[in-house]
Amino acid sequence: MPYSQLKVSGIDVFSAGEISGEGMQTAIQTLDGIRGTYKKVLMQAGKVRGAILFGDTAEGTALLGLLQRGADVVELVPSEGAPDPAEMAAAALPDQEAVCACNNVTKATIMKAIQDRGLETADQVKEHTKASGSCGGCRPMVAALVKHTHNQKNNGGAEAITRPEKTTDLPVCGCTELGHAGLKEALNHILASREDLMGLLEYPPAGTWQMNLTVIMQKLNWGSEHGCAVCRPAIRYYLQVSGHTTNEQETKSGQHSAVEERTILVPVDCGAEHVHEARIRWDDHTPLSSYARDTGSLAGQLRGRWKDAAMPSLVNIGVAPGPGSLVSALVQDIGLLASPAGWEIYAGGHAEHPVKEGGLLGVADTELQAAMIATACLQWYRQTAWYDEPLWAWAERLGFMAIREMLLDDQLQKELAAIRHNERGLTSESEGWLYRETPAVQGKA
């Protein structure tokens, strides 16, 4: 079923199925000039065949479900007392699904915050969880979740909201029954609670607020006091991508009063534990053709962006000046290949067993655009992958087409790239590539 969900000039747009053709008729068509929204659903022979949403795409998931199963148009008419389509879409979303991809906020985190803090609006949810605080594309779903949570509470479903969903994924290690999805959710819940956060902080001699990993494990009912070589780096990694850090020393008393005046965002010190990283290879020996480009400049940009960045798993990035290069862009985690159109960006390849060919993420006219797409993909991988999950496995789990459609959103690209930009502690002037474009470096004849 062909469908797309995009943001065009800051406006959410959704389309799915067939929107023209013989025998196609309009089932529903509404225009709200005040809210700036438009909805059109098409039918054929009494079946739902296509849909277009403009301005408010919260019903997109529900409409796509009707299209995929060839539902009768009668299902478009809500029964008396039935929830609106947006709320139905919110209810159908899995608890561990990321509603806000920019800030990696799940449905369960949002509903828990609404329930615990009595949040009433999407703006309040944004303030407490950061959901919809970046590109804003998920705001309709956040608003639907607010409505869904309160309706569920009013109908006696408060226990279901607060009761954790049993996860089906395998435990991270023998120290816990939590899988990676459950561990990330539990850590997000701890970090969302100011009271819990205060109990985790300590002020070591270096003069920077950090977290006590042992206390975190205690709160998570860990089976081992200090964890193991499998779970410790996983916890550290998930905390780092959330913007927090850990420290092994005992928490010092009398230091918590100054927390409000300090920023808790520093590099993770993993000690002797192994940290996954990004490795960049480029080919500067293959003779350049009429369109092949010098790879050193683009490789240097990416190396600067991702130097010392912790990754869920080892990431291989390859930059090739053209076909026949010593570096094969198609079997890299991230591959950039010079072409007559500029640069082709591939993701999800793997050169070892199982050998996999990467899929085409997009084509960029310039080096800066190519670096932006690659950086956005890597940052989204960092935020949504499980620890030790290779990029090719992540792409298969999320679905490559879904990843590509998300990354084609220019605004989301900038938001994801800006997260890495801010993590490195840079100012906007120090990396103008996030904010402006310059001509690509031309290849040698």
**pLDDT at 187 exceeding the cut of 60:** yes
Region 418-431 average pLDDT = 66
Lowest mean pLDDT across 197-206, 245-254, 278-287? 245-254
pLDDT of 8-36, one tens digit each? 667 788 888 887 777 888 888 888 877 78
Residue 291 has φ and ψ, to the nearest 5°, of -115, -15
Q: Contact 400/348 with Cβ under 8 angstroms?
A: yes
pLDDT of 393-408, one tens digit each? 999 888 888 788 788 8
Residue 26 has φ and ψ, to the nearest 5°, of -85, 125
Structure tokens at 258: 């100054």
Task: Give pTM, 2 decimals.
Answer: 0.58
Residue for token pair 């920023």: 263
> Radius of gyration (Cα) for the chain, nearest Å?
24
Higher per-residue pLDDT: 157 or 88: 88
Q: Residue 372: beta bridge partners?
A: none
Q: Where is mean pLDDT largest: 76-90, 168-182, 208-222, 359-373?
A: 359-373
Distance CA 98, CA 110 (A): 10
Region 287-299 average pLDDT = 73
DSSP at 430: T
Q: What is the dihedral of CA 171, 174, 175, 178, to 10 degrees?
A: 10
At what angle are helices 295-306 and 367-384 packed, to 10 degrees? Answer: 30
- CA–centroid distance for 322 within its chain: 31
**pLDDT at 203 exceeding the cut of 70:** no
Q: Which amino acid is residue 357, in one-letter code?
A: E
Q: Which residues contact 155 (CB under 8 A, 6 or more apart)?
A: none
DSSP at 75: G
CA angle in degrees (0–180, nearest 5) for 327-330-336:
70
Strands (E), 58-104: 98-100
pLDDT of 314-364, one tens digit each? 999 999 988 888 899 999 999 999 988 889 999 999 998 888 899 999 999
pLDDT band at 271 (very low <50, low <70, confident <90, very high): very low
How many CA within 13 A on the CB side of residue 333? 23
Work out whether strand 47-54 and strand 201-202 pair parallel, antiparallel, or are unpaired.
unpaired
